[in-house]
Structure 1
Amino acid sequence: MLEQVIVFTIIMGFLVTVLLSPIFIPFLKRLKFGQSIREEGPKSHQKKSGTPTMGGIMILLSIVITSLVMTGKFAEPTIKTYLLLIVTVGFGLVGFLDDFIKVAMKRNLGLTSRQKLIGQIIISVVFYLILKQNDLSTAVTIPLLDYSIDLGFFYVFFIIFWLVGFSNAVNLTDGLDGLVSGSSAIAFGALAVLAWNQSQTDIAIFSVAVVGAVLGFLVFNAHPAKVFMGDTGSLALGGAIAGIAILAKLEIILIIIGGVFVIETLSVILQVISFKTTGKRIFKMSPLHHHYELVGWSEWRVVVTFWTVGLLLAVLGIYIEVWM
């Protein structure tokens, strides 16, 4: 029965996004909500200027509709369902404001870093307060050791770090056509398997709703992209993936399952540290996907390689969590 629910949820999420796209993409074009391309980025990206952005709205609508409909039909929505929706929509709203300022108000940098961070922290604290009010666990599980550490009040700081960190990590990864769509489908799929293994049907349904939504978006986001998700989509997906890991007690294993996002973020951190301390760059450009573009890889080759790495890391994460 659960297998059918998973399949139907993926199909519904996929179809909702696919059906929304022919409506939203022309609408975004009419509003002239086109992507601005950084001049310091790879020169090959300049031709993408003007491609409609803020397509993450379609992903968000698909996730909300699919998860509520399917959870309501096959299981009772739980506080975890609503927590995941709150964090996903909340981070998506921060991203929407950032995108809107960029494309509608013609401020290329969007929200300031401080404004974005404050918004992310507020949503993270709300997530923690609801979690705490409902007596959900504040322990962090250590893989392989079968051991948990209850952080108590300090769990709020862990939640802020995890939600803000992974939302920004996914956002940094969103630089090539289809890269985040494919990578997140793999990561959310792995989390769905682990939630299913824990008999957490509510989390599993939400996870596969995301899988369906991003696969539907990938139809229009694969190279050459007809639409970009923008910060609306990438921040929402990052918040969602961290929220699932927190509620399913998979916080640490997410470092492996979401390894592509972690590696991309580390490449930026290492690049900044190296340049500030030695004046030299480790990579031709960061995040890492741009480095491989500049050494001569095609955009499609970079994306498929990163998807493959993400798939291997997802399998490794499942293996560690289930069989070790």
Structure 2
Amino acid sequence: MYLEFVLIFILSLVLVALVKYYAPKIGLVDEPNSRSSHSSIIPRGAGIGFYLAVVIIMPIFHFDQVLLNTWTCLAVFLVFIVGVLDDHHDASPNTKFIVLILSTILLSFDGVIIDEVGIFFGVDITLGWLALPFTMFAIVGFTNALNLIDGLDGLAATVSIVVLGSFLAVGYMHDDFFMMVTSMAFLSALLAFLVFNWHPASIFMGDSGSLTLGFVISVLAVKSLAYMPTVSILFITAIPIFDTLIVMIRRKLNGRSAFSADRCHFHHILRHFFAEDTKKTVLFLGVLQGIYSLTGLQLDKTMDEGYLLILFAFNIVLLYMFLGAMIKRQKRDC
């Protein structure tokens, strides 16, 4: 069972190197702007390399899983395609949103849907006809959240590796073969990508990588609900969720659009705190995600999630206050 993951790692190395070489020739480049952490033009689209490494190798060894999850594989493929188009500046935000909605509908054909959210203060909450809209909200929200933290060399990949490792553990503990092989496949591909993306990065994953990863992690999260409390999943995927929520809340409280651009994300603030040291910032956020993921893995399916949700919200408040103090000290316009 391990040969396929070694092959994915090796093929990912080769394909990402090829994308890096050809990207400038076909317009897959990232030009720096006022919010960039780099000052030169960098190739992007490495997601093409590591995604293809997974889809080339996995069917050879586990074609039965492809047949059992055909709609899920198609949904991931559609998200990947729109990510590639966006890397080439050929996809609008509306196009990405529509594709993510369509892909979530396709997931429901394989039973990947959130139909209940757990027991909160003794009340078992089932969603009924709201199941599909709620699933759309959750998957689109997290996919974009992961896309938003892709702002430092190695950050999105490092956080994703920690999260995928957590879902690998969930799959292993509950003998869920799809979760195990999917987590391990993308984890192997990402480790190869980090060879090129660790600071100083020579290529970025682009939306072909971040959107695909966010969507795949969302699929694994929904599948994990069969074994874990909903709030456990929030902890396992905490950093992208915390970052997005806190940034959007702060913008609204300051009278700005929740979707406006700024340099007030976790990684912007912490990088300045670490004297512009990208590696320390990424390692810190990776370790922090690891702590939250371990917390999520300890929570039991039988627990009342009302109290767990309070604990999660308490963490949001603490981080909001902590980051707010840092923003004030750094004199940022947030």
Shorter-chain TM-score bucket reads 0.7 to 0.9
Map of 2:299 onto structure 1: 320
Listed one character per residue, the Cα deviations across residues 184-228 of structure 1 (whole Å, up to 9, x for unaligned) are 011011101101212111221111101111111111110011110
* 1:82, distance to aligned residue in structure 2 (A): 2.9
Which of residues 242, 266, 269 in structure 1 aligns to 2:218? Answer: 242
AA in 2 matched with 1:121 = I
Map of 1:182 onto structure 2: 158
Map of 2:96 onto structure 1: 116
Map of 2:238 onto structure 1: 259
- Pair 1:67 & 2:62 matched: no
Listed one character per residue, the Cα deviations across residues 71-109 of structure 1 (whole Å, up to 9, x for unaligned) are 23xxx32666434422322222222121112xxxxxxxx
* 1:147, distance to aligned residue in structure 2 (A): 8.9
Which of residues 258, 261, 269 in structure 2 aligns to 1:291? Answer: 269
Q: Cα 1:214–1:320, aligned 2, differ >3 Å: closer, same or farther?
A: same
Contact kept, 8 Å, 1:144 with 1:320, in 2: the verdict is: no
Q: Give percent identity, aligned residues only.
A: 23
Q: For 1:77, what is the secondary structure of its paired residue?
A: helix
5+ long unaligned stretches in structure 2: 257-261, 304-334
Q: For 1:175, what is the secondary structure of its paired residue?
A: coil
Map of 2:195 onto structure 1: 219
Map of 1:126 onto structure 2: 106
* 1:141, distance to aligned residue in structure 2 (A): 4.8
Q: Cα 1:46–1:204, aligned 2, differ >3 Å: closer, same or farther?
A: closer
How many Å separate the matches in 1 of 2:124 and 2:100?
Answer: 26
AA in 2 matched with 1:220 = F
How many Å separate the matches in 1 of 2:120 and 2:128?
Answer: 22
AA in 2 matched with 1:190 = S
* 1:307, distance to aligned residue in structure 2 (A): 0.6
Map of 2:84 onto structure 1: 96
Map of 1:105 onto structure 2: none
Q: Cα 1:137–1:182, aligned 2, differ >3 Å: closer, same or farther?
A: closer
How many Å separate the matches in 2 of 1:61 and 1:215?
Answer: 15
How many Å separate the matches in 2 of 1:144 and 1:300?
Answer: 40
AA in 2 matched with 1:97 = L
Which of residues 281, 288, 313 in structure 2 aligns to 1:302? Answer: 281
Give aligned pairs, total: 296
Q: Cα 1:66–1:166, aligned 2, differ >3 Å: closer, same or farther?
A: farther
Map of 2:31 onto structure 1: 36
* Structure with higher RCO (Cα < 8 A, 6+ apart): 1
Q: Cα 1:286–1:92, aligned 2, differ >3 Å: closer, same or farther?
A: farther
5+ long unaligned stretches in structure 1: 102-109, 278-283
AA in 1 matched with 2:177 = T
How many Å separate the matches in 2 of 1:276 and 1:151?
Answer: 33
Contact kept, 8 Å, 1:13 with 1:212, in 2: the verdict is: yes
- Pair 1:55 & 2:50 matched: no
Contact kept, 8 Å, 2:113 with 2:135, in 1: the verdict is: no
Q: Cα 1:112–1:22, aligned 2, differ >3 Å: closer, same or farther?
A: closer
Map of 1:13 onto structure 2: 8
Map of 1:206 onto structure 2: 182
Map of 1:170 onto structure 2: 146
- After TM superposition, the score normalised by the length of structure 2 is 0.79
* 1:21, distance to aligned residue in structure 2 (A): 2.4
- Pair 1:275 & 2:248 matched: no
Q: For 2:43, what is the secondary structure of its paired residue?
A: coil
Contact kept, 8 Å, 1:141 with 1:147, in 2: the verdict is: no
Q: For 1:286, what is the secondary structure of its paired residue?
A: coil
How many Å separate the matches in 2 of 1:147 and 1:11?
Answer: 46
RMSD: 2.8
AA in 1 matched with 2:44 = T
Map of 1:154 onto structure 2: 130
Q: Cα 1:83–1:218, aligned 2, differ >3 Å: closer, same or farther?
A: farther
- After TM superposition, the score normalised by the length of structure 1 is 0.82
How many Å separate the matches in 2 of 1:137 and 1:118?
Answer: 18
Q: Cα 1:121–1:267, aligned 2, differ >3 Å: closer, same or farther?
A: same
Regions of 4+ moved over 6 Å = 143-148
Contact kept, 8 Å, 1:70 with 1:205, in 2: the verdict is: no
Contact kept, 8 Å, 2:71 with 2:106, in 1: the verdict is: no
How many Å separate the matches in 2 of 1:256 and 1:148?
Answer: 21
AA in 1 matched with 2:78 = G
Map of 1:82 onto structure 2: 70
Q: Cα 1:208–1:144, aligned 2, differ >3 Å: closer, same or farther?
A: farther
